[in-house]
Amino acid sequence: MIQFSSVSKRYPGGHEALRGVTLEIAGGEMVAVTGHSGAGKSTLLKLAAGIERASNGTVVVNGQNLGALGETALAILRRRVGFIFQDHKLLYDRSCHDNVALPLRIAGFGREEAGKRVRAALDKVGLLDRERANPVALSGGEQQRLCIARAIVNRPSILIADEPTGNLDADYARAIVDLFVSFNQVGVTVLLSTHDEASIARLGCRRVALQNGAVGA
Amino acid sequence: MTWLRLHLHALGEALRRLASQPVASALSILVLAVAIALPLVAAVALRSVGAATAHLDTDPHVNVYLALDASDDDVKRIGQALRNHPDAASVRFIPREQALAELKSTTHLAELLDTLDRNPLPHAYTVRVRTTDAPRIAKLREDWSALPKVDQVLADFEWSERLGRWVRFGDRALLGAWLLLGAAVALIVAHLIRLQVLTHREEIEVSQLVGATAADVRRPFLYHGLLQGLFAGAVALAAAGGVAAWASYELRALTPSYATELKVVFLPLMDSLAVALMAGGLGFLGAWSAVSRELRHFARPG
């Protein structure tokens, strides 16, 4: 489902975030990427989601070589990959409903179909009663779940989450982890990064350790 | 279906943005409308001058005045000579009696003329000529002046050429004004849309992250620019129409002292539509350049 072959990523300015990473994630698999901050976890996830491009090597997602895709094709691919951002990337000038509806609006869904999907996604993360609220009014954990709702509203086959349990206390973190486990159980490929041992244990999945931009033992 | 929905959605979004800041939107549209109305008023003025002078006989013609003592035989002989000239298209004879009668009826000199004991005007020929070429006209005048009993040959149409040049000058000045103010419209819209883009920066970023293409991001801004241009074009047409009606009132009061009616000639419907569409197009272009600069690019690293 996701294949990295000798992938390197060098940012303008010379910082090398990834060095020769080779990695294969099968369809329906769940993988946790671990490592210290600065180890390259975020970069790896962004490359897999088509949010950034590799400097060297090839990234293949869903059978498509991302390096060969133009900007428009890459944008279309991003619609089929749900991404949960570490900093949420929510829009505070509109309701929770409209935040979750954004990917559907971009894809050109009709109002009725979009409304159904948005409510289903909000229900899944337990935020259906906050549909009309502004995200500002939500707690950190709720904002995280809103971000998850936006990521799953397009019913992607791949879900990628960058530190989804990052700043949450243990109870909230467990609830979020359970959500990902449930998505994985219905066949969604899940790739997430974390440095929280408790979460990894609860996920019970393969772990890939990154060290200074390379895959360790 | 999806395609149509995307466009309807972008149009709705653009209208919502216009309506969400009614004062700012109205001011922007008025600024644009003034820029469009200026050359529009100039165009109407120029068309009106063109229409007022269109009925004037601008065909090149040469007047041949005979000597006062020319006999009927001289008149016939000279007429024959003029008609036989290769550059003469048509020849009209104006007897001195008719010339006097015309002078009396078209001026206020009747009483003065009545005090004269004889007709001071000569017989004359008006010759429409086939050329406006100066050396050939000079040759004509020379030939015809040399005929016996011809007193004077006047080629009195330099003024029509001069008028033509003034009209062409006006056309050019107008084209220049259109180009300059058209550029102003595109630049103003680019600036206004750039401000819009800045206030929607986060939305643009997040939209691109969740799969919006460059075209998806641009679409509502392009409609926004297009609508601003179209509305401004419509307001400018209305304003120019108002100015035309106002000026037309003054012009009508002038009419009695001239032979033909003077009136303000507004642009025909198709031209008016073209002005509005052009304004919309300029708005579109301005918006395009403004949004493109703010897009995040996912280009391959070089």
Q: Are residues B190 and B278 in the same domain?
A: yes
Q: Are residues B98 and B48 in the same domain?
A: no
B198 at interface of A, judged by CB pairs closer than 8 A: no
Q: Are residues B89 and B224 in the same domain?
A: no
Q: Are residues B187 and B223 in the same domain?
A: yes
Q: How far, in Å, are A78, B140, B177 from residue B119 at the CA level?
A: 99, 28, 54
Q: Which residue of B has its CA nearest to A93?
A: B203
Q: How far, in Å, are A28, A92, B116, B259, B271 from residue B54 at the CA level?
A: 82, 64, 37, 13, 20
Decide if B146 is inside a domain. Answer: no
B206 and A102 within 8 Å at the Cβ level: the answer is yes
Last residue of a domain, one of B110, B130, B150: B130
Whole-number pLDDT of residue B156:
67
| Statement: residue B256 has pLDDT above 60 | no
B212 at interface of A, judged by CB pairs closer than 8 A: yes
| Statement: residue A9 has pLDDT above 60 | yes
How far away is chain B from the Cα of A110, in angstroms, using its nearest Cα?
7
Give how many domains chain B has, as a whole number: 2
Examine the predicted complex and report whether its ipTM is higher than 0.90. yes
- Kindly report which listed range (A78-92, B114-128, B159-173, B212-226) carries the lowest average pLDDT score: B159-173
Decide if B151 is inside a domain. Answer: no
- Kindly report which listed range (A92-96, A150-154, B181-185) carries the lowest average pLDDT score: B181-185
* Helix (H) / strand (E) containing A23: strand A16-25
A89 and B209 within 8 Å at the Cβ level: the answer is yes
Whole-number pLDDT of residue B302:
44
How far away is chain A from the Cα of B229, in angstroms, using its nearest Cα?
26
Last residue of a domain, one of B113, B130, B147: B130
- The pLDDT tens digits for B195-248 are 888 888 889 999 999 999 999 999 999 999 999 999 999 999 999 999 888 888
| Statement: residue A118 has pLDDT above 90 | yes
A108 and B213 within 8 Å at the Cβ level: the answer is no
Decide if B288 is inside a domain. Answer: yes
DSSP state of B299: P
A72 and B213 within 8 Å at the Cβ level: the answer is yes
CB neighbourhood size of A67 (10 A): 17
| Statement: residue B107 has pLDDT above 80 | no
Q: Which amino acid is at A84?
A: I
A63 at interface of B, judged by CB pairs closer than 8 A: no
If pLDDT is split at 50, 70 and 90, which confidence band does B152 have?
Answer: confident
Decide if B144 is inside a domain. Answer: no
Give Cβ neighbours of residue B76 (< 8 Å, ≥ 6 apart): none
Q: What number is the average pLDDT over the span B244-270? A: 73
Residues of B in Cβ contact (< 8 Å) with A75: 208, 211-214, 216, 298
Q: What number is the average pLDDT over the span A176-205? A: 90
Decide if B216 is inside a domain. Answer: yes
Residues of A in Cβ contact (< 8 Å) with B213: 71-72, 75-76
Q: What is the CA radius of gyration of chain A?
A: 17
If you count DSSP H runs as helices and E runs as strands, how many of each does chain A have, helices first? Answer: 7, 10
Q: Are residues B25 and B66 in the same domain?
A: no
Q: Are residues B31 and B168 in the same domain?
A: yes
Average pLDDT in chain A: 92
Percentage of chain A with pLDDT > 70?
100
Q: Are residues B212 and B87 in the same domain?
A: no
Whole-number pLDDT of residue B268:
84
pTM (2 d.p.): 0.76
Q: Are residues B76 and B200 in the same domain?
A: no
Q: What number is the average pLDDT over the span B275-288? A: 92
Residues of B in Cβ contact (< 8 Å) with A72: 213-215
Q: How far apart are CA B280 and CA A205, in angstroms?
A: 57
Q: How far, in Å, are A65, A88, A127, A205 from residue A188 at the CA level?
A: 20, 21, 21, 14
How far away is chain B from the Cα of A182, in angstroms, using its nearest Cα?
22
Decide if B152 is inside a domain. Answer: no
Q: Are residues B192 and B281 in the same domain?
A: yes
Could you list the residue range(s) of the whole structural domain that residue B248 is in?
2-55+160-295
Residues of A in Cβ contact (< 8 Å) with B201: none
Whole-number pLDDT of residue B19:
92
- List the beta bridge partners of residue B205: none
Q: Are residues B45 and B74 in the same domain?
A: no
Q: Are residues B192 and B274 in the same domain?
A: yes
Query: Which residues 41-60 of chain A have a CB within 8 Å of chain B?
Result: 50-53, 55
Last residue of a domain, one of B112, B130, B148: B130
| Cross-chain CB nearest to B6 (options A77, A79, A108) | A108
CB A51 within 8 A of CB A43: no
| Statement: residue A214 has pLDDT above 50 | yes
Q: What number is the average pLDDT over the span B71-89? A: 87
Decide if B174 is inside a domain. Answer: yes
A93 and B203 within 8 Å at the Cβ level: the answer is yes
Q: How far apart are CA B232 and CA B197, in angstroms?
A: 20
Q: Are residues B166 and B276 in the same domain?
A: yes
Decide if B262 is inside a domain. Answer: yes
A53 and B301 within 8 Å at the Cβ level: the answer is yes
Percentage of chain B with pLDDT > 70?
90
Q: How far apart are CA B254 and CA B248, in angstroms?
A: 10
Residues of A in Cβ contact (< 8 Å) with B299: 53, 71
CB neighbourhood size of B257 (10 A): 7
If pLDDT is split at 50, 70 and 90, which confidence band does B61 have?
Answer: confident
How far away is chain B from the Cα of A16, in angstroms, using its nearest Cα?
14
- Kindly report which listed range (A147-156, B164-173, B213-222, B289-298) carries the lowest average pLDDT score: B289-298
How far away is chain B from the Cα of A42, in angstroms, using its nearest Cα?
14
